[in-house]
Structure 1
C-alpha cells in the first residue's frame, strides 16, 4: 500500500478562507466598519479543521500494476482446538495426574526456544462454551514448521492418544488495505494477543461478489463498518489472512474483557452494508483464557 500524500485534500483547500487587510486611507478617513449607519464587518471565522487525509487502494490485488511478490517475513497464527476422549476420565486419578503433567510439559516446553524464533502461546478453555472442543491453543510463529513441531510434542505424550482436533485453523498477519489510510495512523501490524479474559474466534469467508465490486465501493462499506465499530473500545480485533493456506479466507479473533460488549458489536455490524457480502462466519468459539494447569483441571 502506498504511503499517504502530504498534499492537502481538495475539500480542505475549498474550505480555507483568506482575509485581506486593507491599510487605512492617507486622508485619515474612518475605517468603513466605523462609519455611522453602516453594519460592522463580522470577524473572519477561524479555519475549520480538515478531516484526515484518506486514500483508496485502486489495485488491491496487484493485477493491474503487477506488484512484485512480498517475501518479507510475516507472522503465522494457529488456532488449534482439542477434544478429550471421555475414556480418559475413567482412568485412576493418579494416572490422570501423571499424564496431565506430561502433556503440560509438552505444551509449555514448545516456547522454550531462542527469542529470534518468535514463538508465542496463549491458552484457552472452551469447556462449557462449545460442545465439540474442550480447549484451544493459540500459537504464533514465523515458520509454519514450528506448528508441526508443537503438535508433534503433543502426539508423543500418552494423553495425546486421548485427544482429537475437531478444528485447526492456519492464517497469516498482513497489513489491512482498508484501515491504514489515515495520515499518522501507523502501520497497523501490531498484534497483542491474549490481553483480555475472553477470545471470540471464527473463520470468515466473503462472497465472490465482494471481489467484483469496485475498490471505492468496498472501501465505502468498510468505512461504514469501521465507523459502526468505533464506540466499542473494550474490544481488540486481530484479523489474519488464510488465502491459499486454509479453507477460510480470514480468521478473526476478538480479544475482550466484556462478552456483552462483543454481542452488541456483532449485532450492530449486522446492519452494515458489508454484512450482505458475508458467505460464512461459523463456527464461532467463545474461549476463556486459562493457564495450562487450569485447562487440564477442566478436562478431568
Structure 2
C-alpha cells in the first residue's frame, strides 16, 4: 500500500496521497478542479506549543489468534464445550459493561486465507484497560490453552490533519466498524523523509491520493494511530464487500508518489466477518 491517510473511516479509499502534477505537493491533477483547503502548518503542535489533549478517544485493538491442531483431536463434545466457554467469556466483556462505556467487539475468520492466524477479534473502547479485561477473561478459558496470538495491534482514533470532516465519513474521533463482509488490515509505518517534507508538500500528496482513490466507493477505510503505544505508526483497516475492488485500489495506489514514503505496510490480513459462533466453528 502507499502512504497512509491520517483519517478515519473514509468512504471509498485511503487518503494517503501522491503529489499533484507539477511541483511536488502543489497544484491539482489534470482534469480536476483545485480544492480550497486549509493546510495545517503545525501538525505536531511544536511551534504553537499546543496543549495536550487528554479528552476521551476511541482506542482500537486487533487481536489475531492461531489454534494448536491438538484441539482438533479432542472429542467432539469436549470441543463444543470448550468453544461455548470461550464464547461466553468473550460476550460477557460487553454484556457486563454499562452501555455508556461504548465497548464494541467484532469477530472475523481467517481460516483458509492465512496460514499463521485463524481468527481475529476487533475491539473498541475508550480505555485501554478494557482491552486487558477482555483478554484476561479469555485467558481464564480452556480454549486459550490451545491458542497463541501471533499478532496484536493497538491504536487510537483522532481527527485527520489532511481531510476535512464530512458528516458520516468517519473523519472524526469515533468509527462504527464491521460494515463490510470483509476487513483488510495492515500495520503501517512512514519513512522519516515524510516528516521532513513541508506541510504543503504533504497536503498535495494527500489531495492527489484522495483523488486517485475516489472511484472506489465500495471500500471504506478506518485509519487509527499508534504513535508511542505500539511498534507501528498506524493500523489501517478497510471494510468492503468486494475484495476485487480492494485489490484494484491497492494496485492503483502503487503508482502514486506517496508510495515512496512507505517504510512498512505488512503483514496484510484478509478477514471474513462472521459471528463468534461461526468463527469458532471454522476452527474445528
TM-score computed with the length of structure 1 as normaliser: 0.81
Please show how residues 102-121 of structure 1 align to structure 2 within 5 Å: 102-112=85-95, 113-121=97-105
Residue 228 of structure 1 aligns to a residue in which SS? Answer: helix
Q: Quick check: 1:136 aligned with 2:136?
A: no
The superposition leaves residues 111-148 of structure 1 with CA deviations (integer Å, 9 ceiling, x where unpaired) of 11111111000110000111110000000000000000
Please show how residues 6-85 of structure 1 align to structure 2 within 5 Å: 53-85=36-68
Question: Does the CA-based 8 Å contact 1:104-1:292 persist in structure 2?
Answer: yes
1:52 CA displacement = 5.3
Higher relative contact order (CA 8 A, sep 6+): 2
Residue 105 of structure 2 aligns to a residue in which SS? Answer: strand
Listed as ranges, the gaps of 5+ residues in structure 2 are: 1-32
Equivalent position to 1:245, from 229, 232, 243: 229
Q: Measure the CA separation in 1 of the matches of 2:151 and 2:165.
A: 35
The superposition leaves residues 254-294 of structure 1 with CA deviations (integer Å, 9 ceiling, x where unpaired) of 00000000000000001111110000000000000000110
Q: Quick check: 1:233 aligned with 2:217?
A: yes
Question: Does the CA-based 8 Å contact 2:63-2:152 persist in structure 1?
Answer: yes
Equivalent position to 1:208, from 188, 192, 209: 192
The superposition leaves residues 140-183 of structure 1 with CA deviations (integer Å, 9 ceiling, x where unpaired) of 0000000000000110001111111000000000101111178x
Q: Alpha carbon RMSD of aligned pairs, Å?
A: 1.6
Q: Measure the CA separation in 2 of the matches of 1:262 and 1:226.
A: 15
Q: Which has the larger radius of gyration?
A: 1
Q: Measure the CA separation in 2 of the matches of 1:60 and 1:75.
A: 20
Q: Quick check: 1:280 aligned with 2:276?
A: no
Q: Measure the CA separation in 2 of the matches of 1:117 and 1:295.
A: 25
Equivalent position to 2:205, from 203, 206, 221: 221
Q: Measure the CA separation in 1 of the matches of 2:262 and 2:34.
A: 30
Q: Which position in structure 2 is the counterpart of 1:153?
A: 137
The superposition leaves residues 208-261 of structure 1 with CA deviations (integer Å, 9 ceiling, x where unpaired) of 000000000000011111110100000110000000000000000000000000
Listed as ranges, the gaps of 5+ residues in structure 1 are: 1-49
Residue 282 of structure 2 aligns to a residue in which SS? Answer: helix
Aligned residue pairs: how many?
A: 250
Q: Measure the CA separation in 2 of the matches of 1:274 and 1:80.
A: 29
Q: Measure the CA separation in 1 of the matches of 2:283 and 2:169.
A: 42
TM-score computed with the length of structure 2 as normaliser: 0.85
